[in-house]
Amino acid sequence: MTTEPPRGAEAPPELVQLLTPEGERVEHPDYDIDLTPEEVRGLYRDLVLVRRVDLEAVALQRQGELGIWASLLGQEAAQIGSGRALAESDMVFPTYREHGVAWCRGVDPVNLLGLFRGVNHGGWDPAEHNFHLYTIVIGSQTLHAVGYAMGVQRDGAVGENGAATIAYFGDGATSQGDVNESFIWASVFNAPIVFFCQNNQWAISEPLEKQSRIPLYRRASGFGFPGVRVDGNDVFACLAVTRKALADARSGQGPMMIEAFTYRMGAHTTSDDPTRYRLADELEAWKLKDPIERVRAYMFKNRIADQDFFDAIDAEADELGRDVRKRCLELPDPEPLAIFDHVYAEPHRLMDEERAQFAAYLEGFEG
């Protein structure tokens, strides 16, 4: 009897990788990158801090303080690598799980928590951070992103001072019509956009095999633009590949798809129980590819950081966790009628009617 390796745990051969799970630096002919020790320490800090915010959010949800939370556990490198590749003028269209990218864009994590606590409608100003609001409707943000990128193109912001757009989505989203339509528009109009697919192997309980019979990145060629698969647990490779794709988009070379091959180590959301549909050995195999551990091993081996550095980052993470928790619990509840305030930019008759109905309903309560 042969023992099959756990599903998705074998590294596929066509994967761009610059840092192995053991923390060994490897070369790549197309995507090399020179990082200073300072930059490596910065990436490590990002990875640890976003994981800490995520863990705190899961705990807050378990304590009844958030309605739901979509954990990024395991996907930190894909998000920090791509997020740190962005230029300030680039525009991001996220899903609901891009907490690491939000971090790179300077969005206060408490604003993310406010959304999942149900006390705000979005939580941040997309124009201020060049980071659009979270989108729950699977794949729809890719169409918004292509529309935005085509607008940038029409404003003439392609070339030397060009700005790129990046759309995040999951493996499951690749089966949505919206995503396929967005590929077509981006391709035929040569839009300055990067499609960043985090293939975390699952769409809730639906495995990757139910989305595609070919590697996802190869879909791109059918639409007429390049696709590449990167080790999504390798922050160096994600940074290098995304940096190049964004630079190409900005300079007018059109769209590109990046498939970040990674794994969702937690549940789909806090409402999900993955033990119902996946085997524990799959998770165990992926734990060995942890995106943070490999950077830590690399830093130790190459004397880029000492124990004091790691202790200081851990202390900073604990402090951040405490601060985020405290400020989350202090978030004020909105006025019930505020739900009608920003549905439309202009006054709207239907909203006025519904507001009045709801106000009358609220008046029916005593006190």
Ligand X SMILES: Cc1ncc(C[n+]2csc(CCOP(=O)(O)OP(=O)(O)O)c2C)c(N)n1
Q: Just list the catalytic residues.
A: 264, 268, 277
Residue 204, binding choice from Mg ion, ligand X, none, Cβ under 5 to 8 Å by partner class: ligand X
Stretch that binds ligand X, among 33-41, 125-133, 171-179, 303-311 (CB under 6 A): 171-179
Task: Indicate whether 202 belongs to the interface with ligand X (CB under 6 A).
Answer: yes
- Binding positions for ligand X, 268-307, rule CB under 6 A: 268
Any idea which residue has 């740190």 for tokens?
84
Closest CA to 262 of 108, 30, 47, 106: 47
| CA distance linking residue 67 with residue 114, whole number of Å | 10
Phi and psi at 88, nearest 5°, equal -55, -40
Q: Which is nearer to ligand X, 153 or 233 (CB)?
A: 233
Per CB under 5 A, the list member of 170, 192, 227, 321 interacting with Mg ion is 170
Q: How far is CA 54 from CA 84, 112, 191, 266, in A?
A: 18, 10, 33, 11
Per CB under 6 A, the list member of 18, 19, 138, 220 interacting with ligand X is 138
Q: Which is nearer to ligand X, 138 or 299 (CB)?
A: 138
Task: Indicate whether 74 belongs to the interface with Mg ion (CB under 5 A).
Answer: no
Minimal distance, residue 131 CB to ligand X, in Å: 17
Structure tokens at 279: 């085997």
DSSP string, 253-284: ---EEEEEE----S-SSTT--GGGTS-HHHHH
Closest CA to 57 of 68, 46, 45: 68
- Binding positions for ligand X, 53-112, rule CB under 6 A: 97
E strands of the chain, at which residues?
15-16, 91-93, 165-170, 193-199, 202-203, 206-207, 227-231, 256-261
Closest CA to 12 of 176, 255, 250, 208: 208
Stretch that binds ligand X, among 22-30, 35-43, 125-133, 198-206 (CB under 6 A): 198-206
Task: Indicate whether 71 belongs to the interface with Mg ion (CB under 5 A).
Answer: no
Query: How many residues touch ligand X (CB under 6 A)?
Result: 15
Per CB under 6 A, the list member of 173, 186, 194, 240 interacting with ligand X is 173
String of contacts with ligand X for each residue 5-44, x by CB under 6 A: ----------------------------------------
Per CB under 5 A, the list member of 54, 76, 98, 171 interacting with Mg ion is 171
- The answer to whether the CB of 295 falls within 8 A of the CB of 41 is no
Binding site for Mg ion (CB under 5 A): 170-172, 200, 203
Binding site for ligand X (CB under 6 A): 97, 136-138, 169-173, 200, 202-204, 264, 268
